[in-house]
Structure 1
Amino acid sequence: MHHRPIIVAHKANRKSLLLKYLRVGVEVVEFDVTRDGNGELVVKHGMETGVRGLRGLVMDYGYLLIEGRDPLFRPSTLEEHLSLVGSKCGVWLDLKTRGIEVESVALARKFGVRDVIVSSGFHNTIRRAKEVDGSVTAILGNVQYRPANPVKEVELASADGISVHYYFVDRELVEELHSVGFKVAVWTVNNPAKASELVELGVDYLITDAPEKLRLIAAKAGALAGQG
């Protein structure tokens, strides 16, 4: 099966990385979105862990190091990032906190983002995003297992598709979801050989830290599809 997937530039939470992605012309950039202690929407890989005290501080510090950011500097706001994107490409908002979906989508629309994708592990967050803006693509996110009934899981979340770690993606899963019109996103795919396998399976989105490499694979798949 030759099917051209959309390449999503993973975790563009650092402004320097976002600017790099925009320079090379990626199709979609992904931001991890949460609300900080001041109530502002920021882009960082935080989430509601419920962990407080020293352990919570260590976990927050770890997320910052993963993103390559100096913990002494505040994270960028979602508004700052969206103002840089504008209509240049699509935006994938991976919502790490409950109750931020309406504000996040509204900000994306304010800055003219042409395609808005919202993912979350919270069903109500996905459902609400779809209710307030029917043109949003809503994805049940961060799935790290092989769903026994993937179609049912997407339906329960009122979503348009599911985002699954590449290790758990197989042909049967893709075909089940595609048979009823649902989309399949796969993360985080950095290995070109693995990307080629997933393209053959017909996945719809490849989320990657190496969009430049995977764009070539996706383009080749698109060319073959055009010849078919």
Structure 2
Amino acid sequence: MRTSVPVIVGHKANRKSILQKYLKLTLKFIEFDVSLANGRLVVKHGVESGAPGVKKFIINYGYLLIEGKDPILAPSNLEEHLKEIAGKAGVWLDVKSRGVETEVVRLALSHSISDVIVSTGFHNMLRKVKESYPSVLTMLGNVDYRPANPIKEVELAHADGVSINVHYIDKELVEELHSVGYKVAVWTVNDPQKAMWLKELNVDYIITDIPEKITRILLGS
């Protein structure tokens, strides 16, 4: 059984201040949320609330206010962030918009970033990435439920694994995916006890807002 610490991924480095913090920690992977806004690729998460009408608008706008102030309504170009990270870490690109998946990877590789992971909830986008860039790791992302047949879902997406909400992970899922060589990433893990439990489950990646604390805990230092 593996005894190494899962790869710690700095979550949602969409603000430059968070990106700089993660770079100082020398993380192996830093995650950006990639969207298409006004014809340009930007790092922006956003939120899709199921609430109707005005309530949905308030929740979505409120999320933007919380997410960052540099700036709120004009998020940074993806390329600006890639220039910052070039040669210092790998990138985890969580793609939120359709049709930009291969361009996102091309940009990352053009900035001397050799370790690239792409996640998205769109199966067809993952297939396109894998066809164009076979060496890039692809993860079926935004899995906010317990898949009844996780292996089948990964196969349909031609992906290399799943990125799943911590609330839906269990030992059976990890063992099932690992049995055929697929990888398991878990988000968003900010609870130290959960992190230790996930290490015992042998998950491959832990995505967290507090990578410095989670790393220290998992290393026992």
Q: 1:102 matched to which residue of 2?
A: 102
Corresponding residue for 2:148?
Answer: 148
Query: SS state of the match for residue 114, structure 2?
Result: coil
Paired with 1:57 and 1:71, the residues of 2 have a C-alpha distance of 19
Percent sequence identity over aligned pairs = 59
**How far is the alpha carbon of 1:57 from its aligned partner?**
5.1
- The one-letter amino acid paired with 2:204 is D
User: How far has the Cα of 1:217 moved from its partner?
Assistant: 3.6
- Deviation of 1:220 after TM superposition, in Å, equals 4.9
SS of the aligned residue for 2:200 comes to helix
Q: Distance in 2 between matches of 1:212 and 1:162?
A: 24
Written as runs of structure 1 = structure 2, the 5 A alignment for 1:35-74 is 35-36=36-37, 38-46=38-46, 58-69=58-69, 73-74=73-74
SS at match of 1:130: helix
Q: CA RMSD in A?
A: 2.3
Query: What is the identity, as a one-letter code, of the residue corresponding to 1:91?
Result: V
Show the counterpart of 1:3. Answer: 4
Equivalent-residue separation in structure 2 for 1:59 and 1:77 (angstroms): 24
SS in structure 1 opposite 2:30?
strand
After TM superposition, the structure 1 stretch with the greater mean CA deviation from structure 2, 60-69 or 125-134, is 60-69
SS in 2 for 1:124: helix
1:93-119 CA-partner distances (Å, limit 9, x unpaired): 000011011110001001011210000
User: How far apart, in 2, do the equivalents of 1:212 and 1:167 lie?
Assistant: 22
Cross-structure match for 1:224: none
Deviates more, 1:175-184 or 1:70-79: 70-79
Question: What TM-score do you get using the length of structure 1 for normalisation?
Answer: 0.89
Provide closer, same or farther for how the CA distance between residues 72 and 11 of structure 1 changes in structure 2, counting only shifts above 3 A: closer
| Cα separation, 1, equivalents of 2:166 and 2:90 | 22
Q: Any idea what SS the aligned residue of 1:194 has?
A: helix
* Paired position in structure 1 for 2:22: 21
Q: Which residue of 1 aligns with 2:116?
A: 116
Matches of 2:197 and 2:164 in 1, distance apart?
A: 15
Q: Is the 8 A contact 2:16 2:70 kept in 1?
A: no
Q: Number of aligned pairs?
A: 220
> For residue 181 of structure 1, what is the amino acid of its counterpart?
G
Give, in angstroms, the shift of residue 207 of structure 1. 0.2
Find the aligned partners of 1:186 and 1:68 in 2 and give their Cα distance.
23
Q: Structure 1: 5+ residue runs without aligned partners?
A: 222-228
Deviation at 1:63, TM superposition (A): 3.0
8 A Cα contact 1:118 1:137, kept in partner: yes
Q: What code does the residue aligned with 1:14 have?
A: R
Distance in 2, Cα, partners of 1:55 & 1:134: 42
Distance 1:100 1:218 in 2: 35
Task: Please give the per-residue CA displacement for 1:105-162, whole angstroms capped at 9, x wherever unaligned.
Answer: 0010010112100000000111111111111100000111111111111111110000
Moved more, 71-80 or 194-203: 71-80
Give distance in 2, aligned partners of 1:9 and 1:98: 24
| CA 93–72 in structure 1, closer or farther in 2 if over 3 Å, else same | closer
- Measure the CA separation in 2 of the matches of 1:156 and 1:48: 25
